[in-house]
């Protein structure tokens, strides 16, 4: 399995995150809007740091490869009473097993005392890499919303996944 390290998101990570949030291909299957300037990226990082300063949310964690290269971000959001896992990797790091390994790494590090009993996730049906990495990590597809993902005037089917965590 790919060796990865996780570290907390810092404002200084905005430079690396430009390669994610200023790249249309990377954000097109996500709820992230495409940003256009480094200043917008820095502002998003600051907002995330505020949003995730709560015990219900986890991360965001910066994922790095063993050689210290920036790989992406992963975290657990909390909304509408549910813990939702999300992940986004820099395009040059796709298809190396890092997405699957990062999710596995995150799952292994959720403490039993966290109070998180179930994780949910969504994946656009045509985003094979996203739903395949969920399935590889023990998530089950529980529903499929026809046209449930709408972005830039185009709608796609949206899968919902769940994983019950051992207590
Ligand atoms: C989704 C994402 C995290 C996948 O990360 P990754 O490191 O490329 O994925 P992995 O290499 O771990 O591969 C995961 C699985 O998808 C498959 N896969 C990877 N890229 C694929 C592609 N382009 N087409 C089809 N299958 C693909 C792999 O073969 C693997 O399948 P397996 O477990 O059955 O062998 C990455 O593409 C990404 O960050 N995309 C942009 C953001 C995004 O879409 N986030 C998810 C929003 S819900």
Query: How would DSSP label each residue in 68-124?
Result: --EEEEEEEEEETTEEEEEEEE-GGGTTSSHHHHHHHHHHHTS-GGG---EEEEEEE
Mean per-residue pLDDT over the chain, rounded: 95
Angstrom distance (rounded) from CA 116 to CA 110 = 8
CA-nearest residue, atom 27 of ligand 1: 129
pLDDT at 2: 62
Q: Is 60 in the pocket of ligand 1 (CB under 6 A)?
A: no
Cβ-contact 28, 8 below 8 angstroms:
no
CA-nearest residue, atom 23 of ligand 1: 129
pLDDT at 114: 86
pLDDT at 113: 82
Residue 63 has pLDDT above 90, yes or no: yes
pLDDT at 166: 77
Q: Is 70 in the pocket of ligand 1 (CB under 6 A)?
A: no
Residue-wise pLDDT for 147-157, tens only, equals: 999 999 999 99
Residue 129 has pLDDT above 90, yes or no: yes
pTM: 0.96
- Residue spans of the domains in the chain: they are 4-164
Return the half-sphere exposure (C-beta side, CA atoms, 13 A cut-off) of residue 132. Answer: 8
Q: Is 47 in the pocket of ligand 1 (CB under 6 A)?
A: no
CATH architecture of the domain with residue range 4-164: 3-Layer(aba) Sandwich (3.40)
Report the separation in Å between the CA atom of 113 and the middle of ligand 1, taken as the mean of its atom positions. 30
Residue-wise pLDDT for 85-122, tens only, equals: 999 999 999 999 999 999 999 999 998 888 899 999 99
């Amino acid at each position: 399995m790919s060796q990865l390290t996780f570290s907390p998101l810092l404002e200084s990570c905005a430079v690396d995150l430009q390669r994610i949030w200023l790249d249309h291909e990377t954000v097109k299957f996500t709820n992230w809007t495409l940003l256009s300037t480094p200043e917008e990226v820095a502002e998003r990082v600051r907002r995330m740091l505020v949003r995730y300063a709560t015990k219900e949310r986890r991360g965001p964690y910066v994922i790095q490869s063993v050689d210290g290269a920036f790989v992406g971000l992963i975290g657990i959001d909390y909304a509408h009473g549910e813990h939702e896992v999300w992940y986004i990797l820099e395009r040059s790091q796709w298809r190396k097993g890092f997405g699957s390994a990062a999710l596995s790494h995150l799952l292994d590090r959720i403490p039993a005392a966290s109070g998180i009993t179930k994780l949910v996730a969504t994946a656009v049906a045509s985003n094979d890499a996203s739903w395949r990495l969920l399935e590889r990590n023990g998530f089950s597809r529980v529903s499929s919303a026809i046209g449930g993902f709408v972005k830039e005037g185009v709608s796609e089917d949206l899968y919902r996944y769940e994983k019950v965590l051992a207590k």
